Amino acid sequence: MTEVASSLPPPIRRPDVSPARLARRHAAERRFRLCALAAVVIAAGMLLALIGTIAVQSYPAFFETRIGLDVDFDPDVIDPAGTRAPADLGDANYAVLVRRALEKVFPEVRTRRDRRALKRLLSADADLALRDMVLGNPALIGTTQRVWLLASDDVDSFVKGLIAREAPQETRRIDERMAAWIDALAAAGRIETRFNATFFTAADSREPEQAGILGAVVGSALTLIVTLALSFPLGVLAAIYLEEFAPRGRWADLIEVNINNLAAVPSIVFGLLGLAIFLNVFGLPRGAPVAGGMVLALMTLPTVIIAARTAIKAVPPSVREAALALGASHMQAVLHHVLPLALPGMLTGAIIGMARALGETAPLLMIGMVAFIAEVPRGFTDPATVLPVQIYLWADSPERAFVAKTSAATLVLLGFLAAMNAVAVILRRRFERRW
């Protein structure tokens, strides 16, 4: 029976192009396209919502409130001996000047408690601001100047409308009495809201109105310089060796598998390694960019190696063969021809690795970079903090004004990332060669 069947020519089957079937196929395609489009719209919407929220929340952080007071730079207080020596000027009790200036505006305030509340209108370091003015320009002594002093974070929040007047007395930071003072100051034109330059020129502070992002930005930059300086050359050289020179075999496979595994290791493990080796064995300073950069370099290295190997693999073998057939040595073929063609890909990979390192906090936790640092680091061995750590620290702070600061710092971090990615794109465009 089978013989009979196989001897017959099989019936020819034509494609089924009936309108109903075609319509079903087209409908399926439309559904699929809609789903894909919806996915893109949802993703873009979430991203926009995220950035929008951060931008709106961070808006108050870019402005600060200042209170204008007529300060009498009384020589009897500042320099009773009349030496004008910087040491004497620096030691003077400027808080008296602040108190007197406040009393001039509010002569009716008498009790100690009220006076203390009055002083809380200003930022805690108002006297230091006066001292810096006098040290910078001793000619001020003996004159009376309208000085715009930084308001405290509570006043700032109140002026910006972040503290509602209707809130119950007991729970809000600005009571009726202080609100009345602020209104009086505003009526007298003594309250101004200005662009917050402090945010970009200061390091962290316990007082929200004095806290800035510069310390974290510089810390991040120093850390990333160390990371890039270590991981890029090491990664590229390792990739060149593994791709071009290493004998293929079990050892090469083992190394390859381990590099891929290393890229997937949780970053905190690198932090532990850094703590054990860089701090405890090598004795590097705790919490310094040099140690942080080295830990992040360890973490980025597998990414850089993998990216660099991919870039080398993408160079057409014909280029390598052409060089070798001309009598170039292997090293000449690699340095003159393979490396220039692979460099854009390598740089892109390195920058993507850097971007990941920029957002990393966990490994830095282990080596003491998660700390309150009130000074802008001056070098690779100064204690420093980095942007994501700064965001974490501010998000953890109880003061209301830090909410906006947290968002503002996030914006700065995102801006940093966008800038790095832009650099990656520019480098790729500039060095990319077509063939």
Question: Nearer to other proteins by C-beta: 150 or 315?
Answer: 315
Give me the least distance between CB of 252 and other proteins, in Å please.
10
Question: Nearer to other proteins by C-beta: 41 or 322?
Answer: 322
Give me the least distance between CB of 307 and other proteins, in Å please.
21
Question: Nearer to other proteins by C-beta: 145 or 332?
Answer: 332
**Look-up: residue for tokens 């505006």?**
105
Report CA 262 to chain centroid distance, whole Å. 25
Give me the least distance between CB of 426 and other proteins, in Å please.
20
Q: Are 312 and 239 in contact (CB under 8 A)?
A: yes
Give me the least distance between CB of 329 and other proteins, in Å please.
5
Q: Which residues bind other proteins (CB under 8 A)?
A: 248, 316, 318-319, 321-329, 332, 336-337, 341, 433-435
Mapping DSSP to helix (H, G, I), strand (E, B) and coil, where does residue 194 land?
strand
Q: What is the DSSP letter of 266?
A: -
Output the CA torsion sign for 174, 177, 180, 185: negative
Question: Nearer to other proteins by C-beta: 56 or 252?
Answer: 252
Give me the least distance between CB of 304 and other proteins, in Å please.
24
Q: Where are the alpha helices (DSSP H) in 315-400?
A: 317-325, 330-333, 339-358, 362-366, 387-395
From CA 134, how far away is CA 132, in angstroms rounded? 5
Question: Nearer to other proteins by C-beta: 342 or 411?
Answer: 342
Question: Nearer to other proteins by C-beta: 216 or 323?
Answer: 323
From CA 205, how far away is CA 231, in angstroms rounded? 33
Tell me the DSSP string of 40-55.
Answer: HHHHHHHHHHHHHHHH
Give me the least distance between CB of 257 and other proteins, in Å please.
19
Mapping DSSP to helix (H, G, I), strand (E, B) and coil, where does residue 64 land?
strand
Assigned token pair, 236: 């590229």
